[in-house]
Structure 1
């Protein structure tokens, strides 16, 4: 799946335009990468389409922040409201799971606190 197909699926699932979905996808991946250990973020990037790998920044340190801050960070980068952002993140996570597979996705989710379940549950 390439970046356009990824964004198309996110757009359909979240009820966003393709441009909004593409922006949201990049913002979600970047914010997620900051929440993961550097090793897990690098591992995740290996499974992404080439054009989305740049959305996963290389860093040395894992940041600690909760769901509200996650949504706020993505929202501030996309200009979407909280509801649109939350739906978009769920759609991006569903699509991410399809792209990277259950095992890689489970490793990613295992690094997130339980409060993130609302963003990652039902992403089958």
Structure 2
């Protein structure tokens, strides 16, 4: 999947009015995910995404620190961070995160998103596995 296709899917599924909003949602979600998972997982996931989109994950990993542990926070903090970065309210941020996770899963091959999900607490994992059907 290419960058424009990825962003187009996010924009369409989330019913966003602009590509800029879809870019913001993608950046907010993936930067927050990058803060939460280990450096190696963030790097592996980023490698399977279009370069510009993978950068959102890579920028959270200190250079050469693939073994860096992720920060420990729960879903409510995850959503707060996505909301702040995407300049939306928390219910919308939760929905946008689900959409971005869904498109990310479709854009990757193998089990990388499953491996990412396995490392997360249940409440954040439910965001990843819920898909975008639960619009807030």
Q: TM-score, normalised by structure 2?
A: 0.84
Runs (4 or more) in structure 1 with deviation over 2 Å come to none
For residues 29-65 of structure 1, the C-alpha deviation after alignment (integer angstroms, 9 at most, x for no partner) is 1110111111111111110101112111223331001
1:70-89 map, 5 Å: 70-89=78-97
Q: Which residue of 2 aligns with 1:92?
A: 100
Q: In the superposition, relative to structure 1, how do residues 71 and 24 fare at CA in structure 2: closer, same or farther (>3 Å)?
A: same
- Structure 1 residues not aligned, in runs of 5+: none
Q: How does the TM-score come out when normalised to structure 1?
A: 0.91
- Distance, in Å, in 1 between the alignment partners of 2:125 and 2:41 is 18
Note the residue ranges of structure 2 that are not aligned, 5 or more in a row: 63-67
Quick check: which one's helix share is greater? 1
CA RMSD after TM alignment:
1.6
Higher normalized contact order (CA 8 Å, seq sep 6+, divided by chain length): 1
Give the paired residue count.
124
The separation in 2 between residues aligned to 1:39 and 1:102, in whole angstroms, is 16
* More displaced stretch, 85-94 vs 9-18: 9-18
